[in-house]
Structure 1
Amino acid sequence: MESAAAMTSVNSKSEPIAPWWHTLLVVVPIAIGSIASWYERGLPNAHLPGVSYRLSSYFTVLLEEWFVVLLIWLALKRRGISIGSLVSGHWQTLGAFFRDLGLAVGFLVIAVPLIGGLMLLFLHFFGGNANSALTDITPKTALELVVWLGMSATAGFCEELIFRGYLTRQFSAWTGSLVFAVILQGIVFGLAHGYYHQGMVIIMVQGWLLGLLACWRKSLRPGMLGHGLQDAIGGVVAFLSRSA
């Protein structure tokens, strides 16, 4: 049985969560981080003292994403809306969790080869090297791997809440169209990944696919699991391939 919060899922509301200026506040740190990552050719990095370059970038991403979620939470609290209303409730049974996990794995089975193939085609015709950027940011030590896994879980929760939850809700309310909302949030999602350079266009496609998954399931939960798993597995595979 679905929870009551599911009745307030991301695509069932017609009113914006917050005024336009709040959305600007949400987008600005994302834009700054993406621009910084474009120039850094890696994750945004505050160059924190006493830690490695990669750990510093991981902590920078963690701070940025949780700061944006804090901004969203404050807006929701002001309206008397819970975070669960964007996520669409919580798992009430173990079976519900495994159902969403199965959907997440199924999504990855389809999306990962598709996105990978599109990325290869795009880079072949337009140039660039996404693998170089990914090689630079993936973990090389056990400590970096642990923090990477935490960052992956954060990306799964925070980015889905931000893009497929908050921004989709805002764009849907402003345009009166869920289709336009999914398209717009995917564009912003792609632009938020500056370290891919031209490959940001393909990340937009991933954002659209995740948006369609959220609309189909009327929940962010499968996307959160899939997004987090994709990032986590990518980091583990990169780490093990270096250790081999």
Structure 2
Amino acid sequence: MRAPVNTAASGSAPSLAEQAYLAIRDRLVMLEIPPGSPINEDRLSGELEFGRTPVREALKRLEKERLVVAFPRRGTFATDVHISDLAYISEVRRTIEPMSAAAAAERATAADRDTLAGLRERLAVAGETDSTAELLRMDLAAHRAVYRCVHNPFLEDTLLTYDNLATRIWGVFLPRLSGVAGHVGEHVPLLTKIIDGDSGAAAELALRHVTGFENAIRALI
């Protein structure tokens, strides 16, 4: 069944290729399509109720984002998750995440701040769920909400790309991680600082969050 999609920022409905991209992207990020597994275009088209053309366009875009890889005469596969990539991904995120949090605090509209406040309420009770998949979705929702407040489509695309890659690493190690709810709960003070317009504190909390994620994964290696 076709998954629901968000309305584009402009208010116009996303194209079929965009809808297919969003649906397949999140299956990959959430590891519902396991790393290294083959991508069956016909099956995806049927499950998501899209034609093959939107699915193919989506896969081409996902290949550029390192979520899938295509091999001549072999087909398309979900990329493997390599822990060796953690250092590279974290190096980028330590730079852009604090910058984006500060920009969000400065640029968020009144509507943005209302959205963040509602999300903050849901995150405040993150510890009440036993579902690691739900915690992972909440973490994604928090990051993506902050990125939208930056109001810079080029920076937002970059932030999403690296957060998606980091989330796949987290998903692989999630069964062995402790304190996941606490990690997700770290977004509560971050969202508060963005809502309050405190760019300096928001940047500091974002850096602490990214660094904490990297350290938690490294502790398991």
TM-score tier after normalising by the smaller chain length: 0.3 to 0.5
TM-score (norm 2): 0.38
- Of structures 1 and 2, the one with the larger relative CO (CA 8 A, separation 6+) is 1
- Of Structure 1 and Structure 2, the greater helix share is in 1
